[in-house]
A and B are shown apart, each in its own frame.
Chain A
Amino acid sequence: MTLETLKPYLPWITLFVLAGIVGIANPAFFNPSGLIALVADITPLFIMALGMTFAIYIGGIDLSVQQMANLVTVIATVYLAQFGIGVALICIIIGFLIGAISGYITTRLYVPSFVSTLAMGFVALSGAKYLSGERALSMDATLRDRSFGWMFGNTAGVPHELVIAGVLLFIAWFLQKRTTFGRALKAVGSGELAAVASGLNVDRIKILAFAISGTFAAIAGLMFSVKLSGGDANLANGFLLLAIVAVLVGGTPLTGGVGGVVNTVIGTLIVVVIRAGMVYLEIDATQQQMVFGIVLIVAIALTIDRSKLRGVVK
């Protein structure tokens, strides 16, 4: 049994070992209603990570997700009164467009995705600051409940956030596993030059992958905005690190090609467990970012496919 054969199971093993440790330290962790609440709480992050999976799956990265979510929280708050539930459509379209622009800049203009998405993130931040007037805005409670009240609450003990997360997971899974687009994604992620040589329209596939990432980030932002009942150009700060951690810890390597959206479910659960563990083990909130930064480095080091880096790591 070598590390290579163990690799696909590493995320599962990590999840169960960590859950076990936290559970032994604090048996209350396994209390079902508490667990469900913990998982439901992280839904916006999960949705964002789900989208990010597509960008990483093709070997890129999307650093704009956090700013995208920020922008959407502001848009949703500002235009809720005017468009009601229609504001969701606006958010999704904006997410798709900004993601597609990042993809276009990456593929057609040859700008590495970490630069293009970082730059587009700042364009989004600019929009968020403009629309919000650099103030924290809040939603009108009745309007919010009328349009988006269905997002939160419980039906037969199942929080609605989990249902939404499940639906989005199914869509993402379907896209990845059951469509030609999904297979093309895998081809691009496994070896881009080979995908080009076999006649795939690689540029279009990559642009679409970034657009999906943007769309999911927008949905995450919308949920977060409804949840906190407001919008602010800094509201979603702190999401970026956790979203990247969730994808990579789940076993989708930075080099792309393997893993996928189901792995991101495991990755997000690992993030939930680590977070819960830190709370129970009384690790200060200020230390969490450091812990996740280190977790990120370990996860990348364990999952990255070095044969794909062709000898040179820049």
Chain B
Amino acid sequence: MADTMANAAPAARFLTRDRIIKWAPLLVLGVLILLFPFFEWLEDIRAGEAHAYLIDSRFFSIRNAARIGIAAAPALMVAIGVTFIIIMGSIDLSMEGTVSVCAVVFAFAFLAWGGTVLSWAWLAIPAAMLVGAAMGFINGLVHVKLKIPSFMASLAMGFVGTGLALLLTGGDRTRVEDPIFRSLLTERWFNFPVMVYVALAFLLIAWFIQSRTTLGRNFYAVGGGEELAHASGLNVERVRLMGFTLAGVFFAVGALLAVGRIGIAETATGNNFMFVSITAVVVGGTALWGGIGGVWNTLVGVLIVSVINNGMVVIGLPAYVQDAVLGILVILAVVLSTDRRSVSFVK
């Protein structure tokens, strides 16, 4: 549709395909943020109660924004990890397994080494990130060295990860009750809990890696055209391996925040991260074909997904609708971001 618009009239050239794709996610987020309070307003007006649009909204409030931030922080970390992979034109579906393993290893190490951040137990945090890196690295090895398409290699590694977490826990939950660690959730600065700021800090780190390092530029080079990147002397295999390792580290950070949020580490800690993060990345405007998008797109995507999930609850829609909405959303996003002239066929 964008193509016909661009070709129809010179005046319409302002709305080029690239521009639309670039700004659509932000526009969608804005519309959603205004839409949910509208439904609340509609409901109250129908019931004959006084309701000032936005001002009386339960959705459009600082308190709810903090709630959305808490829900979005771990998902943002996982989604940023997979963003690097999708920029390279690959995909990583191992996050559920990796998050579970990292969460469980962290909890075990944390309790074994003292159980409070003020003792040697703080080492459990870097340990969990190392475990994430190792799992990402193995994932990358399976993909690159065995030449297995990444979606299948990572899906299989995800199963291995979930199995490993199950093996470590035996199905039990581990509680992490250290008040200092839990201050991720309980301590608030300017109405938002610390975990939101931690997530933003890692977002900045990811942005730095993406835009200011050779590795970040190489991700785009590989995604823009692997043969070309290879021909110009880039060690594509190494870039891919480092990409998957980096993704593993971000999955681990997501696991830490997820444990900080509920205070429990278990095999199920990783549940639902796969679909939410892939949806967020794609909805944010990072194309599944690689080369386009980045971590800021992912921030917008995660916010869209979190706002939808939260807003649907606020306006009283049952939770089961969310799965279907996300499912349709991800298909729409992929469809809209695909330039059909450049795709010959799809498996």
Q: How far is the CB of B206 from chain A (nearest CB, A)?
A: 22
Among B38-46, B58-66, B329-337, the stretch that binds chain A is B329-337
Q: Say yes or no for B89: interface residue by CB 8 A criterion.
A: yes
Identify A193's interface contact among B89, B161, B334, B344, CB under 8 A.
B344
- Which residue, of B89, B144, B166, B322, has the highest number of chain A Cβ atoms within 10 A? B166
- Given A290-B167, A293-B160, check contact A112 B288 (CB 8 Å): yes
- Known contacts A192-B345, A193-B345, A300-B152; A312/B157 CB under 8 A: no
A241 / chain B contacts, CB cutoff of 8 Å: 159
Contact between B323 and A289 (Cβ–Cβ < 8 Å)? no
Known contacts A107-B346, A110-B343, A130-B320; A115/B163 CB under 8 A: no
Q: How many residues of A contact B (CB 8 A)?
A: 55
Contact of B163 among A106, A107, A116, A291 (CB under 8 A): A291
Determine if A115 and B326 form an interchain contact, defined as CB atoms under 8 angstroms apart.
Answer: no
**Which of A119, A123, A306: most chain B CB closer than 10 A?**
A119
Report the nearest B residue to A312, measured CB to CB.
Answer: B226
User: Min CB distance, A45 to chain B, in Å?
Assistant: 15
Are A121 and B320 closer than 8 Å at their CB atoms? Answer: no
Per-position contact with A for B134-156: 1 when CB-CB < 8 Å, else 0?
00000000111011111111011
Q: A113-B347, A115-B288, A293-B157 are in contact. Are A311 and B150 (CB under 8 A)?
A: no
CB distance from B78 to the nearest CB of A (A): 16
Would you call B255 an interface residue if the criterion is a C-beta within 8 Å of the partner chain's C-beta atoms?
no
Taken together as a complex, chains A and B put the C-alpha atoms of A173 and B207 apart, in Å, by 52
Check if B171 sits within 8 Å of A286, measured CB to CB: yes
Given A119-B327, A130-B318, A309-B149; A110-B163 close (CB under 8 Å): no
Q: Are B324 and A122 in contact (CB under 8 A)?
A: yes
Q: Smallest distance from the beta carbon of B185 to chain A beta carbons, Å? A: 26
Check B147–A313 contact: CB distance below 8 A. yes
Residues of B in contact with A (beta carbons under 8 Å apart): 88-91, 93, 142-144, 146-153, 155-164, 166-167, 170-171, 226-227, 275, 278, 282, 288, 290, 318-328, 330-331, 334-335, 338, 340, 343-347
Report 19 cross-chain contacts, Cβ distance below 8 Å, ordered by A residue.
Answer: A59-B347, A112-B151, A112-B347, A115-B334, A118-B275, A125-B323, A129-B320, A129-B323, A130-B318, A130-B321, A192-B345, A192-B347, A287-B163, A293-B157, A300-B148, A313-B144, A314-B90, A314-B91, A314-B226
Chain A interface (Cβ < 8 Å from any Cβ of B): 59-61, 63, 105-107, 109-116, 118-123, 125-127, 129-130, 134, 192-193, 196, 202, 241, 244, 254, 284, 286-294, 296-297, 300-301, 304, 306, 309, 311-314
Top 3 A-B residue pairs of the complex, sorted by shortest distance between their CB atoms = A290-B163, A126-B324, A289-B163
